[in-house]
Amino acid sequence: MCFYVDENHTDLRIAKKDITCYKYMYFRGKKWITPYQAFIYEPGILVTVNTGWRALNKRGCSQINKGLHSHSTRKEAVHNMDSSEHILIECIIPKGAKYFYSKENEEYVSNQLIAVKRIPKRIRKK
- Quick: pLDDT tens for 13-24: 899 999 999 998
CB 32 within 8 A of CB 40: yes
Q: Which residues contact 122 (CB under 8 A, 6 or more apart)?
A: none
What's the pTM?
Answer: 0.82
- Quick: pLDDT tens for 13-59: 899 999 999 998 988 877 898 887 888 999 999 999 887 655 545 45
Task: Tell me phi and psi for residue 82, to 5 degrees.
Answer: -120, 20
Q: Where are the domains of the chain?
A: 3-114
